[in-house]
Structure 1
Amino acid sequence: MLDYDAQGFYKSYMNETRITEVGCVTLFKELEELVTTVFPVQGSSLISHFPNIAPLVDLLNITDRERLTSAITHLYWASTLSILNFYSFPDERNPEIQILWISRGDSVIPDPVLLERTPLLAEYRKAIEKIYTFVFGKSEGATKFANDMIAFETKIVNFADGADASPYITAADLNELYPSLDWPLLLQKILHGTNITLDRELKNDFPPYTYFAWETIIARSRALPTQYRRRINRTMSILDGDVNPDAVPDRWSICVDSTSTHFASIVGHFCISQMFPSATKNQVQSMVGTIREAYRTDFQALGWLDNSTHANAITKLDAMIELIGYFTADPNVGSAEAHEKYYAAVHIKDSEYYSNLVQAKAQILKKMLYRSAPYFTANTPECLNFGALGMITGHEIAHGFDNFDRNYGPRGELHDYSNFTVMGPEGETLYVNGEQTVGENISNNGGIKMAFMAWAKRFASDRDSRPYNYKLLPGRGVSHLMREQLFFLSFGQSWCRLGTPTYFANQVRDGVHAPNHARVLGTMQNAREFARAFKCKTDSPMDPVSKCEIW
């Protein structure tokens, strides 16, 4: 049955007794294969943990380059490779052609600044040592292993990409730039079974580093008993800036999250049958169409667009494709038959979570995002849906005309807020990088304006709430609010988040989005409709005289 894979996976994750019984036996076998068969290194301290199995002599005699290439390929197909990312994407110079992209993956330590935080590194080191001791059954070598991992990750974090290197290179070019790997052979093995060939250039952005054993352990850590996962999970939570890194979620919620991640399309199949009827899809399509027309009207009113630019903008607007609801390919989320075929090679056992995890990670899965509260609810007033999902729709359309994507044509081909602050983890003041977030800021301003225009036009044509829902909200504390005010409150609510100083520091350092408070307040300060709705005084903080308006 279609639901068995997802249910079996969930049951195996909930079976803590069985997970504790298995311990690290299966992980140990996987590591054994890695260090004795896939990537044996003479004199390696890890090989000493497997005295009963001698490394393959043939592999010991081949070059480091060949061994490294073989190991990278193995980890890729085992879904434990995190140091490099491989994916295909349309070539921005000719979107009709798919091009292979290679990029550097993420390290556990995301930024050099964190290397200066001694308590955090000490926590991470202890987590590595504890898991090492559990997996290999002894503490001897744990400290050296942890120190080696942190030293290696430090190199990754401090690695600077070559600014002069061309982003488009061939496999032969990679051999010259990074001779540690046999790139043509590696890519041939990774692309085996796909319709991608090596007759074209690659998109490049990485250094060839790896630390195979730790990558494997981290990738399989969910299958370890709770007491061994807890320390590494806490460290990851601190690095991510979670509000309460010591909080332990209910087991069922973690299992639901894991099942939804690894069997997203199956969970989505049953979800859409309950939550996404055709009437809802039609309602969302109507909203998107109304917002698209708001852009068309706005373009005609913009005096700074010359005739040629205006015509190109309309062409690009019309070329945008609406993807609403769920994926219909690889697999079709709405089709039970498509899922049966897609998951035919996956054999789930409700008592073997480790095996289930390995199989599930080998599948390419996608998620259905954004089409749920607080962004959209079918039976709520239109002003709330337009303020949340409508703004996001307008925001994404605006990206087609922002500081970056304005350079791309209708087929995707390429043509030639610093006043806000957050508090960092050490109490320091960090400023939002306006240049870094400008594209998102432009889209926020345009998105909220177009969503409001679209909603206001529909409301003006339907004040009796016949085809659409324009009722006010009942209840104490909200019944006095006008529809225009509810629109903006819905927008603000959709970006409410809790975050620690570390979380916000990470966002300011790496993110192209402004922190949520700046995203909401900055957008509202530039929205004349907001000032009118809440009767803000001119030249007050929320209604400054100087506003940023493009669309």
Structure 2
Amino acid sequence: MKRIMLLSTAVLALTACTPPQKAEAPAAAPAPAAEPAAPAPKAEIGSFGLDIAGMNRAVTPGDDFVEFANGTYIKNLEIPADRSSYGMFVKLDDLSRERTREIIEASAASNAAAGTEAQKVGDYFASFMDEAAVEAKGAAPLQTDLAPFQNAKTKAAFARALGNSLKGFGPGLFPFYVNQDAKAPDTYIPYFLQAGLGLPDRDYYLVNNPKYVETRAKYLEHAAKMLQLTGVPAARAAAKAKNIYEFERQLARVHWSRVESRDDDKTYNKWAKADFARKAPGFDWTAYLDAAGFANQDAFIVSQPTAFTGMAKVFASTPLTTLKDWATLHTAKDAAPMLSKAFVDENFAFNGTVLSGQPENQPRWKRGVNGVNNAMGEAVGKLYVEKYFPAESKAKMDELVKNIIAAMDERLANLEWMAPETRVKARAKLASFTPKIGYPDKWRDYSALQVVRGDAYGNAERANTFEYNRNLAKIGQPVDRGEWFMTPMTVNAYANPTMNEIVFPAAILQPPFFDPNADPAINYGGIGMVIGHEISHHFDDQGRKYDKDGRLTDWWTPGDVTRFKAYTDQVVAQYNAYEPLPGNKVNGELTLGENIGDLAGLTIALNAYHKSLGGQPAPVLDGFTGDQRFFLGFAQVWRNKYRDPLLVQYIATDPHTPGHFRPYVVRNFDAWYTAFDVKPGGKYYLAPDKRVKVW
């Protein structure tokens, strides 16, 4: 992208000598004065896209680059009461939510014809916002979903109820999703996962971290209160909650860790229908799978096979009454947002305040917008991109993506540690990428979804069923390579290895990530790094296992794998040393893929930025060189502040390093040391031989 710089231009008035005119000829009209030149479009942040006032320039970059780049902003930042964290993603999410609310409310007020998307969007939102009607129904809507579990006389009947509940509100023990078969990416297959826990991760049950121990006690209290709301007498609720907790603790003992569960080779286990009973006895798989809609399906991927074996055994040894209580609790928790205030408040008190530290629930309108986006996100997305995603942004993003893919290709072509034959295949994979920018080419069809004004609970359940059926219907059909897994209003991006694609929804293509009027260095450090990050996911420790056709296969040489692992071990060790909270260190193995993405993404984006200069030196703006602006633009994207409970949960469960630690990846870049004159002795200084350079 080229930045247009205008000088002030004077308009010269020229006097011309003209030949004599015939008397009858009218005098020529004077030439109109030239219009003044339009001012150059201005960046949204600062004079060129950088928030200089938000920096803390009293700090030396080598001592704490994050504080240097963001210190004043973070010092003055107060997390809103209805948030458990705040940063650039949340700021843009709030903006996206405000804009989406306008679109939805316009639909609600439009008196649209029955059956149209506008009618469905408007009535879905209006029904949720009718709090008085929701309150009047109390817990009544929930009873229909609880009845199949409560009426089950046998564990086979309970398993059947579990399978049926996947379509609406209900507990998850063995949930699934439909996706491309990783080893046959032209076909769809169901993937089954371990589940069943009420706490965020198995470690909350098994590790005696003081925060986990405290959370366990509060979970018992919460479970008892939720059971009481469903009609369980208070005198019995506490004992039932303990039994539920013990059941879940036994499940946690056999669950795979999150590190094990991110290994794409280990989690690819193809089972036939008959394999379930043989490999995981103790659970009526036929009843469950038939009720879930798989009566005629005979190929499944089981992601954690030994966990399924262990969970089935735990299920078999657990009294039916405890299983019913567990199902009651989790069905109530799943449906709570659509129920009366008592359910909403109690569920938030635990999920929001205890687990995430959030003092206040979000206003009802925000929760309503979330609900509409989850139910019919692409119907709203159509209107969103028409209003908020200009063609100019899409065109400039196309250019940025093209430049960064070219930079990655150059890196691959000259990568010394990769075998020549592997480099050829890697470049072929890159050349077959599909970038998706802004919004899908074909919008989802919601004609089969019924929305009834005044039935908030029923609308949500029907939306769940619609999405369930839509996914189930993929099996046996050609793969839809145009499908998106995020709405245009989502502030995020993703890489999909089986599609060999990178995807950037419209809502992330805004400042500070991307501003068509900002200095190129800022855009390359912001959205450029995001683009590079997503590209590099296809070559990280898991993405590298997929070939150019999206097939999970071993296409690297053993030497490549060994050399690559030597680099990734360095990445793991570096991030293991970070401690965002006392006693809670980053898990370098869990976050490895994302950390490689940050390292590689920044490398590629920096190369692309340098190439975009066409051999000319970058201008100095407000005293900052081009490379300084690049690294600062990157750091300012990751301004984040977290409440402690959320940070504890984040470190335990999220494959990303907490946002406010992500800019420290710069310490691996020689260009960063040069740009900011970082010398030995700085807190984040790394000797040249300790700097990790994967790509």
What TM-score comes out, normalization by structure 1 length?
Answer: 0.81
Structure of higher RCO (CA pairs closer than 8 Å, 6+ residues apart) = 2
Describe how 1:53-68 pairs up with structure 2 within 5 A: 64-65=155-156, 67-68=157-158
Describe how 1:511-550 pairs up with structure 2 within 5 A: 511-521=654-664, 523-537=665-679, 540-545=682-687, 546-550=690-694
How many Å apart are 1:287 and its aligned residue? 0.8
- Post-superposition CA distance 1:355-402 (Å, at most 9, x none): 122122223384333342332334333322221221111112112222
**Partner residue in 2 for 1:167:** 269
Distance between the aligned counterparts of 2:599 and 2:213, measured in 1? 41
1:317 paired to 2:430: yes
Distance 1:96 1:346, change over 3 A: same
Question: Which runs of 5 or more residues in structure 1 are unaligned?
Answer: 42-62, 465-469, 473-478
Q: How many corresponding residue pairs?
A: 496
> Which has the higher mean CA deviation after the structures are superposed, 86-95 or 270-279?
86-95
How many Å apart are 1:317 and its aligned residue? 0.9
Describe how 1:68-87 pairs up with structure 2 within 5 A: 68-87=158-177
How many Å apart are 1:535 and its aligned residue? 2.6
Question: Which runs of 5 or more residues in structure 2 are unaligned?
Answer: 1-115, 261-265, 316-322, 468-484, 493-505, 555-573
Distance between the aligned counterparts of 1:232 and 1:161, measured in 2? 27
- Give 1:487's match in structure 2, choosing from 615, 620, 630: 630
Distance between the aligned counterparts of 1:456 and 1:533, measured in 2? 13
Distance between the aligned counterparts of 1:165 and 1:98, measured in 2? 16
How many Å apart are 1:102 and its aligned residue? 0.7
Contact 1:291/1:451, CA 8 A, preserved across alignment: yes
**Partner residue in 1 for 2:140:** 25
Distance between the aligned counterparts of 1:481 and 1:299, measured in 2? 31
Contact 2:525/2:632, CA 8 A, preserved across alignment: yes
1:406 paired to 2:509: no
**Partner residue in 1 for 2:496:** none
- Give 2:600's match in structure 1, choosing from 421, 438, 446: 446
Contact 1:524/1:542, CA 8 A, preserved across alignment: no
- Post-superposition CA distance 1:47-96 (Å, at most 9, x none): xxxxxxxxxxxxxxxx533x133212211122424222212233333323
Q: Secondary structure at the match of 1:327?
A: coil
Contact 1:171/1:202, CA 8 A, preserved across alignment: no
> Which has the higher mean CA deviation after the structures are superposed, 502-511 or 74-83?
502-511
- Post-superposition CA distance 1:410-430 (Å, at most 9, x none): 112233424533255xxx423
Q: Secondary structure at the match of 1:100?
A: strand
Distance between the aligned counterparts of 1:92 and 1:224, measured in 2? 39
Distance between the aligned counterparts of 2:427 and 2:267, measured in 1? 36
1:218 paired to 2:218: no
> Which has the higher mean CA deviation after the structures are superposed, 395-404 or 481-490?
481-490
Describe how 1:104-253 pairs up with structure 2 within 5 A: 104-105=194-195, 107-115=197-205, 117=212, 119-136=214-231, 138-160=233-255, 167-184=269-286, 186-191=288-293, 198-205=297-304, 206=308, 207-208=311-312, 209=315, 211-238=326-353, 240=355, 242=356, 244-253=357-366
Describe how 1:275-424 pairs up with structure 2 within 5 A: 275-328=388-441, 332-333=442-443, 339=445, 342-349=446-453, 351-364=454-467, 366-368=486-488, 369=490, 370=492, 371=506, 372=508, 373=510, 374-416=512-554, 417-418=574-575, 420-422=577-579, 424=581
- CA RMSD in angstroms comes to 3.0
Contact 1:168/1:202, CA 8 A, preserved across alignment: yes
Distance 1:377 1:234, change over 3 A: farther
- Post-superposition CA distance 1:121-178 (Å, at most 9, x none): 3433333333333332753532233223222222222224599998332211111122
Q: Which amino acid aligns with 1:124?
A: Y
Distance between the aligned counterparts of 2:432 and 2:267, measured in 1? 33
**Partner residue in 2 for 1:2:** 117
**Partner residue in 1 for 2:10:** none
Q: What percent identity do the matched residue pairs reach?
A: 22
Q: Secondary structure at the match of 2:459?
A: helix
Distance between the aligned counterparts of 1:123 and 1:380, measured in 2? 48
Distance 1:485 1:165, change over 3 A: closer
Contact 2:449/2:466, CA 8 A, preserved across alignment: no
Q: Secondary structure at the match of 1:513?
A: coil
Distance between the aligned counterparts of 1:452 and 1:133, measured in 2? 57
Q: Secondary structure at the match of 1:323?
A: strand
Contact 1:120/1:235, CA 8 A, preserved across alignment: no
What TM-score comes out, normalization by structure 2 length?
Answer: 0.65
Distance between the aligned counterparts of 2:516 and 2:452, measured in 1? 36
Distance between the aligned counterparts of 1:192 and 1:160, measured in 2? 24
Distance between the aligned counterparts of 2:267 and 2:617, measured in 1? 59
Radius of gyration: which is bigger?
2
Distance 1:264 1:171, change over 3 A: same
Distance between the aligned counterparts of 2:419 and 2:168, measured in 1? 54
**Partner residue in 1 for 2:21:** none
Contact 2:171/2:196, CA 8 A, preserved across alignment: no
Distance 1:483 1:261, change over 3 A: farther
**Partner residue in 1 for 2:498:** none
Q: Which amino acid aligns with 1:275?
A: Y
Contact 1:90/1:97, CA 8 A, preserved across alignment: yes
**Partner residue in 2 for 1:58:** none
Distance 1:74 1:409, change over 3 A: same
Q: Secondary structure at the match of 2:550?
A: coil
